[in-house]
Amino acid sequence: MVTDWLLNMGVTMKLAMETSLKPALDWKQRLFFRFSHPLGPTWLFTPIALLLVGVSLEWQSRSPLTVALALVAGLLYWTFIEYFLHRFVFHLVKVKEPWRTMASGLHMAHHRDMDVRELVIAPPLVSLGFSPAIFLVALAFTWSVSLAMLVVAGVFLGYVLYEWAHYGAHQYQPKNAFFRYLKRYHLLHHYKDPNGTFGVTTPIWDYVFGTVYRTKA
């Protein structure tokens, strides 16, 4: 029974991937499948982040400095999540179905058709699905529910920045030197180094774990 359920889930994910290539007809399709622009996740996750901050401060008052540091910690935490998921989940192509489709099928579709806008932005339900684990890790490090909420708010803001950076790398020709660098860096992953260069908003974890692209001598 469990195997049948997993197989059905794999088929559902494939259908979702096929549907994502078609224009969304209404808000429900956009919510459950794909956004075609980073404004989608911005409108979804920014209010959630602000709500988390509000609830956290209502629960326990904190200084502006503490709030700022927690949000920055969340941003840094996001950069690691971004690297970890990209390397160990979205490129999980050696496992058998239905795990391969569930873990990395949509991302591999992005590699095949990297300029399709609906494949650049992560499905919102997938993004939200990681939230409980993200919160539990934050809670384990902070030992405070209210502080963990602030950290997760920073994670969500980092995720929004990630979607803008990723979308810009594929859809824009940025004039800013920093964003031009991010675009070149990410496209190395697509054209030169699909088994490395996993960072999108920052290359720091590629340097830490030795997965940065290096030209052969």
165-188 pLDDT per residue, tens: 988 888 888 888 888 988 898 888
Say whether pLDDT at 34 is over 80: no
Which pLDDT tens digit goes with each residue over 35-50? 778 888 999 999 999 9
Domain assignment of residue 189, yes or no: no
* Domain total of the chain: 1
Task: For residue 1, give Cα distances in angstroms to 9, 14, 38, 66, 100.
Answer: 12, 20, 38, 49, 19
Domain assignment of residue 186, yes or no: no
Mean pLDDT over 130-145 rounds to 95
Domain assignment of residue 149, yes or no: yes
Model's pTM, two decimal places? 0.79
Domain assignment of residue 174, yes or no: no
Query: What pLDDT is attached to residue 195?
Result: 82
Domain assignment of residue 207, yes or no: no
Q: Which domain holds residue 43?
A: 2-169
Domain assignment of residue 176, yes or no: no
Domain assignment of residue 198, yes or no: no
Confidence class for position 10, pLDDT limits 50, 70, 90: very low
Domain assignment of residue 206, yes or no: no
